[in-house]
Structure 1
Amino acid sequence: MREYKSFKEIDRDLKLLKLQKEIDKERILLNYNQTKESLSPKRLLKSAAGSIFKNALILKGATKVLGFIGDKWK
């Protein structure tokens, strides 16, 4: 526990704590808004569509490679 030697030190620390509290509050609000935006139906659909498209491309490429390798073993 800290020992203070003057009211000036106490006031300084109280101001710092108040500022830190405001910063933390703004961070929480920012994180909340970012989370809310990332979970919006539009964003979720866009993300899902992108994942499906990406997986389809990977599957198509893998199928071609595996088909090519399979043809060499015949």
Structure 2
Amino acid sequence: MTTSRGRRRPPGSPFRDPVAKPVKVFAVDDRVTHDVCGLGRVVSVEEEIAVSVAFNGRTLRVTAPYDQLHKL
């Protein structure tokens, strides 16, 4: 007997659709912390490509997906 219903997939199935990570959005003057450089302030934003952050006298361009950059 054939049904039109698909097979049930267990919650830990490797065939389950991956959950998308939420996109981090930064604005100019946001205070942030970087895993290596420490505290900083966003000085420019390039849409969803990169952000420039000022850390103690030096500016670092951090590209997406911003894994090491966290908003305070």
Query: In which range does the TM-score fall when normalised by the shorter chain?
Result: under 0.3
| Structure having the higher Rg | 1
TM-score normalized with structure 1 length: 0.24
Higher helix share: 1
More strand by share: 2
